[in-house]
């Protein structure tokens, strides 16, 4: 059995990325969309860690970026949920199609 290489990991992260994109574009529920965004972010995180481990093993930049992204993602999730709660209070719905007041 072969050792798991960079390619396999990149394939996983790519699949994860497109699942996220698919979820973001097709789901109408804003919470689900938020979760899809988290998937996209996590695929990026996997890339960072994998490149760091396989290409620049003596450096820590990739790992640091991953930690930053996890932190930012947490903050972003908090903000996004706050926005969603506000929208829910005014629209009585968290369906993204209902939030179309800004269209021409």
Binding site for other proteins (CB under 8 A): 21, 24-26, 33, 96-97, 99-104
**Which residue, 58 or 100, has its beta carbon nearer to other proteins?**
100
Nearest-angstrom CA–CA distance, 69 and 87: 26
The DSSP string of the chain is: -PPP-HHHHHHHHHHHHHHHHHHHHH--BHHHHHHHHHHHHHHHHHHHHHHHHHH-TT--HHHHHHHHHHHHHHHHHHHHHHHHHHHHHHHS--BGGG--TT--
**Which residue, 1 or 102, has its beta carbon nearer to other proteins?**
102
**Which residue, 92 or 104, has its beta carbon nearer to other proteins?**
104
* Residue 67 tokens, joined: 């930690």
Min dist. Cβ of residue 44 to other proteins (A): 14
Min dist. Cβ of residue 91 to other proteins (A): 13
Min dist. Cβ of residue 64 to other proteins (A): 25
Min dist. Cβ of residue 104 to other proteins (A): 5
**Which residue, 67 or 85, has its beta carbon nearer to other proteins?**
85
What residues pair up with 29 in beta bridges, in sequence order? 95
């Amino acid at each position: 059995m072969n050792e798991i290489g960079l390619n396999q990991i990149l394939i996983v992260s790519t699949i994860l990325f497109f699942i996220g994109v698919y979820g973001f574009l097709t789901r109408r529920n804003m919470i689900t969309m938020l979760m899809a965004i988290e998937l996209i972010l996590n695929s990026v995180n996997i890339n960072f860690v994998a490149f760091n481990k396989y290409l620049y093993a003596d450096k820590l930049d990739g790992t640091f970026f991953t930690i930053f992204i996890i932190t930012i993602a947490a903050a972003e999730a908090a903000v996004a949920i706050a926005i969603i709660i506000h929208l829910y209070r005014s629209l009585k719905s968290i369906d993204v199609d209902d939030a179309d007041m800004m269209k021409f």
